[in-house]
Amino acid sequence: MENGKHKPLRMCVVCRKKFYQNELNRLQCKNGKLTPFCGMGRSFYVCKECIDKKKFINYIAKICKISKEKAKEEVSIFHFPFYNE
């Protein structure tokens, strides 16, 4: 806690570790497409370490209800903002 303010903890769907909310990437699946969270609908959090893991593709396929091949394609097309850091 910083200055008495609550910092929300969230869990990465891949490694299941808990992080502060601002340390994770919030994504969602809309019509089988991977997108950043737009404020409506269900979403999930992924830590920066897990984005490069093979397990991430499996989770995206499961969460978005698409094939693993399609999930690989979605991840390669999607530009994560932290890759430009």
Residue 41 phi, psi (nearest 5): 95, -175
Residue 67 belongs to a domain:
yes
The domain tally of the chain equals: 1
Residue 4 belongs to a domain:
no
Any idea how long the chain is? Answer: 85
Residue 21 belongs to a domain:
yes
> Domain range holding 29?
9-79
Residue 30 belongs to a domain:
yes
What's the pLDDT at 85?
35
CA distance 27 to 16: 16
Q: Mind listing the pLDDT tens digit for each residue in 39-77?
A: 999 999 999 899 888 889 999 999 999 999 998 888 887
- Positive or negative CA dihedral for 40, 44, 46, 51? negative
Residue 24 in this model has a pLDDT that exceeds 90: yes
Residue 1 belongs to a domain:
no
Residue 85 belongs to a domain:
no
Residue 47 belongs to a domain:
yes
